[in-house]
Structure 1
């Protein structure tokens, strides 16, 4: 596994644990469809939460949140709609749950303590 992939996996593990401690129920990780991939899907207070996780070892090239471009955000909203459509029961097709997109940014310095920040309802 490449170092970048290992860092990404560690970040997603940290993010999932962070969300669970905060009362979220993680229902999927690394869900894929033709539009792309969702890092984490969770339920929180009746809402489907699509979570993008960005992990860096340093902020020398910008904070992890800076990687969320308008194009990436648009794709996340399309992916959230695809998730809901793919997981809707036939009887629930008319009543869709509320959906939001969150971003978790993690600075994970080698040998240091990770710093986790959670932005809710990114639009």
Structure 2
């Protein structure tokens, strides 16, 4: 596996543990519909939450959250609509971004951005 894929997977695992520690129930990790992937799908406080995780080893070229662009938002929307239909969810939803910046092998910073964007 390429180093950037390993870093991304590690960031997703850190994000998952972070959310679980806050009381989120993780429903899926790396859920695919077509070519669209949702990194984490969680349930918390009566809401179904779709989460994009971005991990970077430094902020030299920008903060991780700055790499969630319009195209990625549309892919998340596309996949989330299918997930909602399959799960027959009729409540509130939310789209979050979790940015993980690695400082070293053991130190990292997590920035959880709730309601990071709204499709449409």
Partner of 1:118: 112
Instruction: Return the index of the structure with the highest Cα Rg.
Output: 1
99, 104, 108: which one aligns with 2:102: 108
Q: Give a deviation string over 1:98-122, Cα, whole Å, max 9, x none.
A: 1110000000133351100000012
Question: 2:116 & 2:82 partners in 1: Cα distance?
Answer: 18
Once structures 1 and 2 are overlaid, which stretch shifts more, 30-39 or 71-80? 71-80
**Equivalent residue number for residue 47 of structure 1:** 47
5+ residue gaps, structure 1: none
Matches within 5 A, 1:1-123: 1-88=1-88, 96-123=90-117
Distance 2:107 2:25 in 1: 24
Structure 2 gaps of 5+ residues are none
Deviates more, 1:20-29 or 1:67-76: 67-76
Partner SS for 2:61: coil
Task: Give the distance between the partners of 1:101 and 1:62, measured in 2 at CA.
Answer: 21
TM-score, with structure 1 as normaliser: 0.89
Contact 1:15 1:53 in 2 (8 A): yes
**RMSD value over aligned CA atoms?**
1.3
State the alpha-carbon separation in 1 of the partners of residues 35 and 14 from structure 2.
25
Q: Secondary structure at the match of 2:40?
A: strand
Secondary structure in 1 matching 2:86: helix
